[in-house]
Amino acid sequence: MKQNMLFLMGVLALLLTTPNANADDKEKYKLFAEETRKEVWALKLPEFTNTAVPDKYKDESAVILAAHSRLEITKKTRFNVGAFLGGFHYIDREVNCRDLYRMLVQINDKAALKEYSEFDYKAEIRKKDWRYDENYQQVLGVRIIKPDGTVNEVSTDEYMTATEGKKDQEQLQKLAVPGLEIGDKIDIFFFNYTSLENHNLDPFVFRFRQSHPMLSYTVHCEIDDKLTTQYRTLNGAPDFKQSKDENGNILLDVAVKDIEQTEPDLWYNPMQQTPMTLMYITNSKMKKYTYIPKSTTEKGLQPNPDAAAIQEDDWEFIKQAQKYSGYGGLSSPKKGIRLLRNVKQIKKKDWTDEKKADFIYNYYRFALLSDIKSDCNNELFIIYFQGLLDWVDVPNLFGMVTNEDKEPLDKLTNYRNTTWLLALPESQKYYLPPTAYLIPHEIPARYQGRQAILEPDKKKAKKLKTKAEREHFNLPAGTADDNQNITTIQADIDNTLLTVSRNEYRTGTQKEYMQSALVKLEDVDAAYRRLLSIDKEFAEEVGKKYADDLREAFRKGREQEKEDYKWEIDFYHGENAKELLGYQMQCLGNRPDSAAFIYNVRYTMDGYIRKAGPNYVLSAGRLIGEQTQIEGKERKRSTDIYMSAPRTFQWNITVNLPEGYKAAPEGVEKLNVKVENECGAFIAKAVTENGKLVLNILKRYNHKTEPAANWEKLLQIQDASKAYEALSVVLKK
């Protein structure tokens, strides 16, 4: 390896051999961390000597003056005597990785000061099992550069142990940076050492855009050429300059200057928008221990490999996985047999394939939910679900897709980044692994509109007398009408206290978040029993052995429920209720004939109604809940907008006025607002009738994505909804 990386080997040697052979792990780590910091600070990185901030960035909260990523990966083999004597494969494959990220940041305001004043990190992780060994250590280094040039390195005494894992196998540390002030520069690095035995490394990501402007970002990699290095540049990321050192190791370098564009906080998806490079490094000699995809068997460098080859890796992995489904993750053969027996009963029912598939999906999921010792991942769920469909003769096709937090299929970098799915070819319904408590064939938001591939439909090809080929397509995507959040409020005034009875009706993608946050296991159990017409005794269905454990899980869920609804009120209003009076989930939303997730919550709020002489002032606009405020640099945008989904918010609000009071007409008039354009709308209508103030309000986002050119139109909608929050109406006697 090059001279500028030799320090890492020295640090590793220090880690493995300390002056005192009996020093405990904490002392060994402390010495390792101290020496690592010395070596990193001694690195000669010219970009880190440039401390001048260009005038165009003088109003930025923070500026990254320089950033540097450095990666060194080596491999070796080791003879395992114990495995040899036991008749097992006796060659252990080890990969060692040294990974450094360093940045120099100018602190310009309180927000940046808060952001860079405290760090949490994993100092050590150790995992050991039969033929598997992982040793991970991370070192954090921080020094402060004062405006006069004085450099203050944070003492090792400031690094505090936060928690220790089971048997000291995981140690977390934290650092509150002492003496950091506005106007300072902070020089930070994270150094990671990872040693893996008979296992491959997690991927590396190099991001060429951050939340603050960067004057310089450099990357340097040195990788053993006996490993397979595959990388993919995404979203316009610059490519590496490729070379080799005198030992034949792969060298990769890239340098970018003055990265002005930053990642917005709102409506932005880094994986789809940030220029980045994904890198996967594989030791293809580990096939005795893990699946080694065909695309990685050729050693050396593979820049931007053919995505079709990576897809083939996944198709082959699917074939292998289909051989080992067992009982679908259920904890015992008895439970698996019970599931098969119940599924078999629907084979002769006069149901559509879609109804059969929905039933089987729900029954399988219910079996997993009621088995607290089940162990089923997304891949196994789809594999076993297909086996159940095949068993009752429901035609289906296997497929793959990636979610929006992964690269699209036509840029696939690693086979493990896909999600498997099943399709019913006749009804074009698609089944993905469970998300929250959706209807089985509802497509979760993160998959809607994404590239997908289905295996060849041989039956259809035979009928049409054509060649059976894989189908490339995009999964269906919902509209703003499909994804609704309808809020109905009845509000009563009692002096200066407002009692709110609120009903939430959520459909489509609007269900996912709140289902996960509010629904309790006992509610899920009851809903699935009704859906599946299960009338057996509880203990008989789940097994007497597990009934008590499951009841205990129900009890703990109920204990937490009140706090969850308090959180929901704070989520809606941006503040806590004075008192929570009641709550109830009405509908889980997991069946086609009752697809909405519905719940009620009742509570009192302070500060929404106040006395003004003989009159009241009602903060009517605040009843729509806290709206996102876009301010500061976020109001200017040059990157496209990426939302979760198109969606509609609707409020039907009735405020019962105190007897003898009327809403001032001029105040009611101001509550009528209309902003509408191609991106969506905010429309509010207000009337008074029969002693009530009635508000009907609509907020709609028409599209999941918008070009940056439409930002001003979105601002019009967002500003209108935020301004509505501030509207009040006087109630006169």
pLDDT digits (tens, 9 = 90+) for 599-651: 999 999 999 999 999 999 999 999 999 999 999 889 999 999 999 999 999 99
pLDDT of the residue at 83: 35
Distance CA 249, CA 256 (A): 23
Closest CA to 313 of 202, 422, 451, 418: 418
Distance CA 239, CA 256 (A): 11
For the segment 145-171, the average pLDDT, to the nearest whole number, is 74
The fraction of the chain above a pLDDT of 70, given in percent, is 89
Confidence of residue 717 (pLDDT cuts 50, 70, 90): very high
Burial tier of 44 (Cβ tally within 10 Å: 0-12, 13-18, 19+): exposed
| Residue 6 predicted with pLDDT over 60 | no
For the segment 356-374, the average pLDDT, to the nearest whole number, is 93
| Residue 202 predicted with pLDDT over 60 | yes
Other Cβ atoms less than 10 A from the Cβ of 333: the count is 10
Take residue 716 and report the two structure tokens written for it: 């019009």
For the segment 228-234, the average pLDDT, to the nearest whole number, is 98
Contacts of 139 (CB under 8 A, 6+ apart): 32, 33, 36, 37, 123, 189, 190, 191
Cβ pair 398, 381 in contact under 8 A = no
Distance CA 584, CA 599 (A): 6
Distance CA 318, CA 475 (A): 20
Confidence of residue 537 (pLDDT cuts 50, 70, 90): low
Confidence of residue 33 (pLDDT cuts 50, 70, 90): confident
Bridge partners, 688 (sequence order): 693
Distance CA 719, CA 356 (A): 47
| Residue 682 predicted with pLDDT over 50 | yes
DSSP string across 332-386: SHHHHHHHHHHHHTTTTS---HHHHHHHHHHHHHHHHHT-TT----HHHHHHHHH
| Residue 69 predicted with pLDDT over 80 | yes
| Residue 167 predicted with pLDDT over 60 | no
3-state DSSP assignment of residue 692 = strand
Picking from 124-138, 267-281, 655-669, which range would have the lowest pLDDT averaged per residue? Answer: 124-138
pLDDT of the residue at 147: 94
pLDDT of the residue at 533: 87
Picking from 242-251, 302-311, 334-343, which range would have the lowest pLDDT averaged per residue? Answer: 334-343
| Residue 4 predicted with pLDDT over 90 | no
Distance CA 140, CA 189 (A): 6
For the segment 561-585, the average pLDDT, to the nearest whole number, is 97
Packing angle of the helix pair 544-573, 521-532 (nearest 10 deg): 110
**Averaged pLDDT of the chain:** 89
For the chain, the farthest-separated pair of C-alpha atoms sits apart, in whole angstroms, at 94
Cβ pair 464, 457 in contact under 8 A = no
Other Cβ atoms less than 10 A from the Cβ of 516: the count is 11
Take residue 24 and report the two structure tokens written for it: 């405990």
Better-predicted residue by pLDDT, 87 or 593: 593
pLDDT of the residue at 92: 52
Cβ pair 573, 621 in contact under 8 A = no
DSSP, res 721: H
Strands 228-234 and 160-164, how do they pair?
A: unpaired
CATH topology for the 484-511+560-732 domain: Jelly Rolls (2.60.120)
pTM, full prediction: 0.90
For the segment 484-507, the average pLDDT, to the nearest whole number, is 97
Confidence of residue 133 (pLDDT cuts 50, 70, 90): low
The top-scoring range by mean pLDDT among 90-94, 293-297, 322-326 is 293-297
Confidence of residue 301 (pLDDT cuts 50, 70, 90): very high
Contacts of 105 (CB under 8 A, 6+ apart): 62, 63, 64, 65, 112, 116, 185, 186, 188, 212
The domain ranges of the chain are 3-215+257-274, 320-474, 484-511+560-732
| Residue 529 predicted with pLDDT over 80 | yes
Question: What's the pLDDT tens digit per position in 415-465?
Answer: 999 999 999 998 999 999 999 999 999 999 999 999 999 999 888 778 777
Residue at 245: amino acid letter? D
